[in-house]
Structure 1
């Protein structure tokens, strides 16, 4: 098992969020996340608030981090620009607000249990970024291999500066990097549509995809989790690329995909199991905590894995981000993740 996979700054029976939260108040979002995931075994995260508008959305937020690449918002989406303009400045301003709020609510963070002072920070991964950002021509950067390489290098440099800033504000935290890659499967299968919508970009070679991810994962000195709430997450590829954790919507996992998950778990990769609904169920109530992780226990039995490793190998999360939830339900979803994780430890079979 690699050092990054062995080094987990969270404990057994851990819970975490995905990233996005509802509303526009950075202080309230930070208060909710840090308050809901306040025990040392859990893994709180830097919240994202896309409801604030352009630049706070997933793509715009990460594009604002890029080194020597700038973006502007066009009617068709985010596009590379010649110089930093209003949209880049706005994205950086939103992120600054988020970091201010994080710093405020993490005073003394990590002093209770330094070995488990994990803090998760999310950015869009290089392939979803390449599929979502446009070149000046209006076509996605994905269509130009050279542009993809330049984008990955810019992301790595900008990300290093961002994580250094997080460490300065929360000096005792052990940073867990999350790469959001919801478009990764589409990139691998050649199903990302061109600007016209009449054709798709060619599938990118799996070795190229894996190599780019491996370089970015290797550049971070802590664990890296790759998240996708899309179907058919390429678990085996992410394991080979060095991911310490794979975050997915467990309801989308098919029987065919279970063997790669078993191989990843046996290799020491953590499963961030998205099991708590992202919006309030129509009944107005969630199932009991044990029921939330019933699918995890069933998967474990089918894979023939040791029940004793269940709570150590699984982090319970909502199925995806909580931006579409009400503030009250977002708090409840995080609390339910905490209770469900505890139930895994109390009753692993």
Structure 2
């Protein structure tokens, strides 16, 4: 059975309405929507810092910065996440099945959060290890909290968002001055930090996925780091990516394929076109839809935060219908 889900972000500022929409349009695999329009504390980085354990953070003119103790904006991010989980608990009373939550990964955080004295965490070997371990520890508690609130969920997925990983590995993250680039992080270190986070998720009783909508991300590294699901934009895949995804499906892992535009298109695709596109992809890989369908998920190409409310709803409807066609 092919199912549909969302990547994570959603337009607007009304969390209650967004969650109701997701629950209604994506019944087989709903997710906790993220609404960055509510402010920086609700964005991808602020949301992950709210989950992080042991380390504090505060908001500076240049963005988020690690501190000795949580600052007022860090506390606001944690409070907002708690309020959203309260709403989730209320609206999903009696719900059973599968559910997905999202969090920014260690390399996304290292590339966007500053050290206490400035410059990105990415610039310091010890700081990036400490940040990854704090995120892993925080996720243990976060997963336990979500499980307590969703007692009927038998499959909880935690999607780790790593859109900056390709830039980290390719030495493309700019320094604070903007005139230089941070040194590349070698794949073994990148894999180790990601593995700490993915292992923490698995040990807490959830299924670890990794999402990336950036080209050049080594998908095999995600699998060897412990990802049991890989979420990608179909339009950005290389020949090596196709091979890695075929191996993932054949090996029993999940592939979430981004097929619906995340921004309002000039001409919207039909559900028939989406269905045929996925079937052509499977045929190219030599995979039988009836054999891998239970491990195949279709999504938008990335988050829907930049879409109009009308397109965001229409895109979810298209995904649900196309998934039914494929099934």
Tell me the TM-score normalised to structure 1 length: 0.89
Distance 1:293 1:191 in 2: 36
Aligned counterpart in structure 2 of residue 171 of structure 1, from 151, 160, 167: 151
Aligned residues: 323
Please give the residue correspondences for 1:240-319 in structure 2 after superposition, counting only pairs within 5 Å.
240-283=224-267, 286-319=268-301
Query: Does structure 1 conserve the Cα–Cα contact (< 8 Å) formed by 2:171 and 2:184?
Result: yes
1:21-45: per-residue Cα shift (whole Å, max 9, x none)? Answer: 111111111101111112xxx2111
Aligned counterpart in structure 1 of residue 320 of structure 2, from 326, 329, 338: 338
Structure 2 unmatched runs, 5+: none
Query: Does structure 2 conserve the Cα–Cα contact (< 8 Å) formed by 1:18 and 1:320?
Result: yes
Aligned counterpart in structure 1 of residue 186 of structure 2, from 180, 199, 205: 205
1:157 matches 2:134: no
1:158-203: per-residue Cα shift (whole Å, max 9, x none)? Answer: 1111112111211121311100000011111111111111111111
Distance 1:76 1:313 in 2: 41
Distance 1:280 1:88 in 2: 33
State which drifts further: 303-312 or 228-237. Answer: 303-312
Structure 1 unmatched runs, 5+: 1-11, 111-116
Tell me the TM-score normalised to structure 2 length: 0.95
Paired position in structure 2 for 1:125: 105
Distance 2:192 2:58 in 1: 29
List, as ranges, runs of 4+ consecutive aligned residues in structure 1 with deviation greater than 4 Å.
none
Name the SS of the counterpart of 2:282 in structure 1.
helix
Paired position in structure 2 for 1:7: none
Aligned counterpart in structure 1 of residue 219 of structure 2, from 230, 235, 244: 235
Distance 2:221 2:122 in 1: 19
Query: Does structure 1 conserve the Cα–Cα contact (< 8 Å) formed by 2:172 and 2:181?
Result: yes
1:253-307: per-residue Cα shift (whole Å, max 9, x none)? Answer: 1234322222222222211001011122223xx2221211433222212211223
Distance 2:176 2:145 in 1: 36
Name the SS of the counterpart of 1:230 in structure 2.
coil
1:37 matches 2:21: no
Query: Does structure 1 conserve the Cα–Cα contact (< 8 Å) formed by 2:133 and 2:193?
Result: no
Name the SS of the counterpart of 1:80 in structure 2.
strand
Query: Does structure 1 conserve the Cα–Cα contact (< 8 Å) formed by 2:143 and 2:206?
Result: no
